[in-house]
Structure 1
Amino acid sequence: MIPINAPQIGEEEIEAVVKVLKSGVLTHALGAGPMVKKFEEDFA
């Protein structure tokens, strides 16, 4: 396999993941949390 790209994961990304994990809102069944809405708005 030829490596084409390596993920760029910094402190900001790690902090965002930890924040979501600590919120307890991990699935859509519990209701989309604010990070889901932000992701959808940023991605669209």
Structure 2
Amino acid sequence: MPMDQIMAEGGLFLGIEWTILWQKGAADVAAVSHYRISKKFI
């Protein structure tokens, strides 16, 4: 397998992984801030 092909496939995989992780992180942040805000008003 040529090196550039390995790099291309690895980059695609990393891009997908990063997107999933970023979306999970954003959802966690949203949940935490929503929780903090709702606690503040109770």
User: Is the structural similarity TM-score above 0.5?
Assistant: no
Larger RCO (CA within 8 A; separation ≥ 6): 1
Q: Between Structure 1 and Structure 2, which shows a larger proportion of helix residues?
A: 2
Give the TM-score category using the shorter length.
0.3 to 0.5
Scaled by the length of structure 1, the TM-score of the pair is 0.33
Greater radius of gyration (CA): 2
Scaled by the length of structure 2, the TM-score of the pair is 0.35
